[in-house]
Structure 1
Amino acid sequence: MNKTYALDTETGPYPMAPGDIGAWALEPYRPEFYVKMLGIAGPDGYGKTIHMSGDNFDNDFETEIEFLSGHEVVCHNAIFDIAVCMRKLGLDHPAIAGIKWRDTSLLAKWLNNSQDSERFRYSLRNCVEKWLPDSNEKEEFLAIKDNIQDDYSYWLTRVVKDCNLTLELHEILANLLPAPQWQGYIIECKCLYPLAKGWMTGIEVDPDVVYEARITYQAKANKILRDLNIKEPVLRSPVKLGKLLFEEWGLEPISHTATGKPSTCADDLKMIGARSEDPRILKLLEAKQALTVISKYVNGFDKSIAYLNDTRIHPNPRLFNGYTGRMSYSSKLMKKFQVGIALHQLPRKAKLIKHALIAPAGSKFLYMDFAAQELRIMAQFSHDKNMLDAFNAGKDLHAVMTESIYGTSYETIVAGNTDGIPEIVDQRNCGKLTNLSSMYRIGAKSLQAKFFTQYDKLINLREATHFLNSYKKAFRGIPAYWQSAINIAKHTGYATSLSNRQFKLKATDWKGESSAINFPIQGSGADLSELAIALISERFPEMTFLIQVHDSLTWQIPDDMNPLTVKIFIDNISWNKYFQTELKINFPLDFAYGESLGNLEAL
């Protein structure tokens, strides 16, 4: 019979690193890291602790993990504890893979996700104070957290309390979580092991490409700055940039900051450039973007390599990090030690940054991208017949939208876009941008601004109004969905995704209504991505999950593995099996394969 146990580890060195130069005790991939103690709590008062000072610590550690294999094991922030076990026993130790890992921080989020809790930090301390106010061990636990001591007695007491309270917390939360949410929570927990393995593996960075990126983007910025006769510090200072634009160049601001100063944000600069037709503005924006790539990504790579003393970076993965359930990555530990870059924000246009992320010798990257994921989810939730029919017939939805806007026949649009006829390509781009911009309630002025700020496409207000009206006419089910989602949220008090992840709404003002509309779509995107990670990891243990960016998943696979095997597996997944609602649409993924993220070939 499977039983539920709690596990916690204590790690070193402590202090985190000599002279406060790092967070080594939080970095299980680092050579200086070590495990000082393992604690386990279980049913009927079961408890076990082992310490590094013991004669058989390594063997005892392995024995305890093997004992837990096949059972449900709950941790608080489980990715870290799983990674610790991997550091001790190896990445592919079968006992670690055999444990049914659970996480009380995730369970708390599934229960507590709401407008009221958006700023709540799900530390064990905060969760104990919120859900175990009357626990017999609470006061001693809090006192231990407040008075850290680096001795055997302290760490022994701490690991025991952490295990006992994690187990007690799990029992409370598990009884509170509604039954329809359990399957989604369990699927998310199945991502814990592959994310821990990917975090430990790290992502190889090519320093030569990083250097090339620095030279390329700096040279681009320098040329523009020289042509404009301005200095780089001007672009880095809103005050100096404002003085240049609005005093020296005599341009009119679009908006003002909260302090009343003319805004120099990128969107305003683009609009100023369009209105004034001053070519200097677009050049200035290009220089700013080049410098941003350097400061955010190139410098991020260099700082990570220097801090880690390794060309493998280890950004910290975070499941259910936003209210929609989307995953993200932290580029810094303790907000100051650079261990990677924000992978979930990889720039689409700065290709050299993606070229810098390379597969190590003996492996390749397998890249998977959900095809039109949010549009397909919208079709599912809105039940819009035209959208469902188009997807299920394999049609180009952007061409369908273009036909509605311009009256050009669908066949002409598809053929003209394939042949590169400029007028048709431009029309289809407008259809595409309308589809991508109009799902979540948007007005004509906002659509006009979005076309320009996000897609560099200038349209007038009359065109924006026509595009929106054409969208609502082509897909009448979507405005109906907006109202339905709001009504459901008002009635139930929450919005829900395909896996029954919930977001509880305190207020149904405009912001609350927008969350009621957005959450089912974006939350379901998180559900689908996690399900794919869980299924692929289970079926292909030789693969290592590395990165999620937007709707894409990137894996490291052995050279001798046929990537088409994975594609065939994914193409034959019955998504209906995993959700408690009938799916009216499939969710295909596009595949690519290559030696770096910037050099992938479609499969």
Structure 2
Amino acid sequence: MVKIAENPFIIIDGSSYLYRAYHAFPPLTNCFGEPIGAIYGVINMLKSLLVEYHPSHLAVVFDAKGKTFRDVLFENYKSHRPPMPENLRLQIAPLHKIVKAMGLPLLAVNGVEADDVIGTLALAAVKNGHYVLISTSDKDMAQLVSPKITLINTMSNTILGPEEVRLKFGVPPELIVDYLALMGDSADNIPGVPGVGKKTSQALLRGLGGLKTLYQQLDSIRTLSFRGAKTMAEKLIQHREVAFLSHQLATIKTNVELNIPYERLAVENPNIASLMLLFQRYEFKRWLDALKAGKWLQGPKIPPSPSSLRLLSHPTYSEAAGKSWPKDGYQLISETSTLQQWITTIRNAGAFAFNITADGLDALTANLVGLCFSVKPGETAYVPLKHYDLDAPMKLNLAIVLSALKPVLEDPAISKIGQNLKFARGILQRYNIALSGIAFDTMLESYVLNSIAGAHDINSLSDRFLQITTEQCEGRESQGHNRVIFNQCDLQQSAYYAGVAADLMLRLHQKLWPSIQQTPKLKKVFEVIDMPLVPILSRMECAGVLIDENILLAHSVELTQRLEALEKIAHQLAEEPFNLSSTKQLQTILYDKQKLPVLKKTPLGAPSTNEEVLTQLGLYYQLPSLILEYRGLAKIKAAYADKLPKMIHPLSKRVHTSYHQAVTSTGRLSSSDPNLQNIPVRTDEGRRIRQAFIAPTNTLIVSADYSQLELRIMAHLSHDPVLLSAFFAGQDIHRTTASDVFNMPLEKVTQDQRRSAKAINFGLLYGISTFGLARQLSVTQTEAKKYMQLYFERHPSILAYIERTRRQASDQGYVSTLDGRRLYFPDILSHNHRRKKSAERAAINAPMQGTAADIIKRAMIAIDEWLEKEAPPVRMIMQVHDELVFEVQRDEVESAISRIKLLMERCFMLDVPLEVKAGVGENWAEAH
């Protein structure tokens, strides 16, 4: 591992920090409604470096405003990047003030990028005999690495010296620019040589040398042993100009005129008075308290578990409020007798914090490396199962250990406390251990208390609730996956890392659980809904879903042809070729050349080409509508038609999504890899994707979907007599609304009027404005206002509910679901009118959306209980919005549907009946 020289000159890529913090931290605001999340994240990362290295000299470098010399060289340089979000731009000035008040030199030079300033500073420092540490996540910086210049990525704790660069990129630092020039860089829109990828670039550079050498030895390329070597010279000749342009764009300028002596980059004492005013303004209370107590940049730091769970993989940095952290209580179990003593201790305690370490993130293939337990803060025991520490040979047999622990892990009377226990259950299942007694997950405890208070990983929770700092351990990286291989760590070190994680879990539970207990409804949500769902989601993830890749591959080919056809038509409409995916080029075509009206501008003042604007323009002009169609098809192709076949697991031959309980603000589940929630529901393209989700042999797909669930919840919450009677009578609620709004008999309502009524019904659920409704219905605002007035005249109870909910959100800062889950809206009191109105609209819908989420979870729990108890030939494989999807044995379909509908319709009682519609088919599209 690379060793950092003592007191290096640290150069921080402030722009890299800024964007990482913006995307990594939640959208926090202060009481004035000002965004502060990115500020908080950047200062956290800066503090960590200061505490870790105590540098005497340092520079924080940001990009300056305006264009750089690269924009002059290449018009499309970084042109594909969206403009900086407004709520990020607003944080730059206050962040700069805080950085300067911390006593840190800050640089931003016009006409060049932060990379160029960093490169110039680094080489100048080396020339003067200093070692340099550059903190960045930008791969371009690898070209600067040398024996005296090292890179560190504090997010992944990756440190790159010359050898590490060679291992990571396949070429040494001096060839990184050539590497980027050949293969291009999509992040910066550097074109590269078409058809030259990573492996080809490595083969060329390792075989002959840099770009200039390649062009001097073109005849030698055909002798190299890589695919396409014989025709590569012709390709390079054809694209010589773009190759050297790419080389120029990728090269970091190291001779920027700075005229800043090294002495001016010294770290100075912080301006305490200025920092206190800034921290008070932006409501960084803990830092303010630390300043008052004289403990700024103090406190013990605790390394997180490096397990493949990545429990602490998202580091934050804070003071530990003067608390000491135990080290002596973390025990390594190496004897069977000691293990038995701990098992006795666990049984007597009746509950214990539980942490596993594994050598991978895939529950179907990852191996169990060790287990860690804690029944008392500061005391943990780590049982190693699969380590390769040659200096400490294993003394415990895996089979014997698991045999001894199995009764404890499967005992439902012994409560398990952990973080992301769903993953632990999935791993243990492969070892024939059915983890039971899953009682407390600290991630879900935090989520139940406040879903939007911040991230719910153990690192963030430790910082937020325990004021304990965590950082990632130093460990080996598994090539290409950027995670620590835990089983190759020193055993004593492993015991400590795993112990920290288990200890934090226990301490967090002891901190969070009393707060939940104080509110009986929250306690019920946690115990009755969220925790019982953990093993169910684990089972569904492990089950996966069968995919017919041939259907998707054929669809991908069709989509490619359609995209090419659309592109051709777009070029004809524009009367010239252009890149349909380039925002800049599209702005030029639509607004400069075709003179379309500018309906909205980006934060930087450019005419917008977002979906909302193109939809409005598409009502009157053909090209914007075509661009929207192109974008939609391209998204479907990339996200599903092309991606899903690559996600088929090599062992199960099925696709396994990951369900997340602690991501959305309303309690709804989300999924990733693949994201099942984003497959279009009512489009032909969405149906084509669903056709690829197929039933295995001798089974059929059954889809069970709640009918108009949120409207039924609205009827219950508002006690609206018209809605109540319509649902009890089994009427078409949208046709009923159309009859009311358009003042005509029910039987004479047209399909167009029903569609308009549907837009009104669902629009009002989301607090839609008159302008929004007018746009949806393609009518004037006067007409939309008339429709809304007629609706509320007919449904005064709904208007009363909306006003009541708006007041409740404003008074309490939150609204509640019918089960009592609290949904917070910090922007409800914002001085920013737009933020406040947005929060009000969200608050109106939140009780319905949150209740719908709780109802589908209750349905899953009821169905899973039936499946586990009676073991019918039915498997629950997917949850999407208000729909559950099953694989059912063919001859059991009718009885299964009957039972599924019964359980879903009776899992929760509203003032109107719940209704479930079920469908059957050979694939998901047929069933839904």
TM-score of Structure 1 vs Structure 2, range by shorter chain: 0.7 to 0.9
Q: Distance in 1 between matches of 2:616 and 2:814?
A: 38
- CA shift for structure 1 position 560: 4.9
Of 518, 524, 548, which residue of structure 2 is paired with 1:183?
A: 524
Match among 846, 849, 855 for residue 519 of structure 1: 846
Higher relative contact order (CA 8 A, sep 6+): 1
2:756 to 421, 430, 435: 430
Deviation string, structure 1 residues 498-557 (Cα, Å, up to 9, x no partner): 121112344433344334322211111111111111111111135443322222122333
- Bigger Cα Rg: 2
State how far apart, in whole Å, the 2-side matches of 1:156 and 1:219 are.
Answer: 56
1:437 and 1:123, CA in 2 relative to 1: closer, same or farther beyond 3 A?
same
* Partner of residue 357, structure 2: 10
- Tell me how far 1:479 sits from its aligned partner: 1.2
State the distance in 2 between where 1:470 and 1:213 align. 46
Residue matched to 2:248: none
TM-aligned CA deviation for residue 260 of structure 1:
1.7
Distance change >3 Å, CA 109–CA 425, structure 1 → 2: same
Q: 1:312-348 CA deviation, whole Å, 9 max, x = no partner?
A: 22232101311111111122xxxxxxxxx21111112
Correspondent of 1:304 among 629, 643, 647: 647
1:366-395 alpha-carbon deviations (Å, 9 max, x no partner): 212111011111111112121112112211
1:564 aligns to 2:895 (yes or no): yes
- 8 Å contact 1:10–1:155 — kept in the other structure? no
Q: 1:63 to 1:588 in 2, by over 3 A?
A: farther
Q: Secondary structure at the match of 2:370?
A: strand
Structure 1 pair 445/282, CA: closer, same or farther in 2 (3 Å)?
same
Q: Which residue of 2 aligns with 1:476?
A: 796
d(CA) in 2 for partners of 1:164 and 1:559?
Answer: 49
Q: Which residue of 2 aligns with 1:35?
A: 368
Q: In the alignment, is residue 380 of structure 1 matched against residue 708 of structure 2?
A: no
Q: Answer whether contact 1:41 1:47 (CA < 8 A) is retained.
A: yes
Q: Following the alignment from structure 1 to structure 2, what is the Cα–Cα distance between the partners of residues 537 and 208?
A: 32
> Cα–Cα, structure 1 residues 217 and 479, in superposed 2: closer, same or farther, change >3 Å?
same
Distance across 2 between alignment mates of 1:565 and 1:193 = 22
**Structure 2 vs 1, CA of residues 232 and 360 (structure 1 numbering), >3 Å: closer, same or farther?**
farther
Aligned to 1:358: 694
d(CA) in 2 for partners of 1:505, 1:220: 43
Shift of 1:311: 4.5
CA distance in 2, matches of 1:534, 1:191: 6
- Would you say the 8 A contact 2:354–2:502 is kept in 1? yes
User: Shift of residue 360 of structure 1?
Assistant: 3.0
2-side partners of 1:313 and 1:547: how far apart?
11
Query: Are 1:49 and 2:383 counterparts?
Result: yes
Amino acid of the residue matched to residue 500 of structure 1? G
Shift of residue 600 of structure 1? 1.4
* Per-residue deviation, residues 443-502 of structure 1 (Å, max 9, x unmatched): 221111233xxxxxx333333223212221222111111111122234434211112111
Distance in structure 1 (CA, Å) of the matches to 2:890 and 2:419: 36
Which letter does structure 1 place at the counterpart of 2:464? K
Alignment partner of 1:562: what SS? Answer: helix
> Is the 2:545–2:654 contact (alpha carbons within 8 Å) kept by the matching residues of 1?
yes
How far residue 303 of structure 1 moved from its aligned partner, in angstroms, is: 4.1
**2:427 is the counterpart of 1:88:** no
Structure 2 residue 920 is matched with structure 1 residue 586? no
8 Å contact kept, 1:50–1:60: no
Cα distance, 1:426 vs. partner?
1.5
Q: Which of 376, 394, 398 in structure 1 is aligned with 2:734?
A: 398
- Matched-pair contact (CA < 8 Å) for 2:544–2:654: yes
TM-superposed deviation, 1:55: 4.8
* Residue 618 of structure 2 corresponds to residue 263 of structure 1: no
Pick closer, same or farther for the CA change 1:387–1:59 going to 2, 3 Å.
farther
Question: Structure 1: how far apart are the matches of 2:891 and 2:498?
Answer: 43
Residue number among 788, 792, 815 corresponding to 1:495 in the alignment: 815
Contact 1:210 1:298 in 2 (8 A): yes
Letter in 2 for 1:389: S
Distance of 2:903 and 2:689 partners within structure 1? 33
What are the residue-to-residue correspondences of 1:525-564 with 2, within 5 Å?
525-541=852-868, 542=871, 543-564=874-895
TM-score, scaled relative to structure 1: 0.82
Please say which of residues 58-67 and 343-352 is displaced more in the overlay: 58-67
CA distance in 2, matches of 1:190, 1:373: 22
Structure 1 partner of 2:499? 160
Q: Deviations over 1:210-269 (max 9, x none)?
A: 111112222222223223436886211111112222233332232222222222223222
**Structure 2 length normalisation: TM-score?**
0.55
Counterpart code for 1:198: M
Query: CA RMSD for the aligned pairs?
Result: 2.7
Does the 8 A contact of 1:7 with 1:74 survive in 2? Answer: yes
Tell me, yes or no, if structure 1 residue 229 matches structure 2 residue 556.
Answer: no
SS at match of 2:677: helix
Cα distance between partner residues in 2 of 1:512 and 1:78: 33
Unaligned runs of 5+ in 2: 1-346, 387-393, 477-488, 830-835
Question: Is contact 1:346–1:549 with CA below 8 Å preserved after alignment?
Answer: no
Report the alpha carbon displacement of residue 77 of structure 1 after superposing the two structures with TM.
Answer: 1.0
Q: How many residues align?
A: 539
Q: Distance in 1 between matches of 2:402 and 2:351?
A: 18
* Partner SS, residue 647 of structure 2: helix
Residue number in structure 2 paired with 1:171 = 510
8 A contact 2:382–2:495 mirrored in 1: no
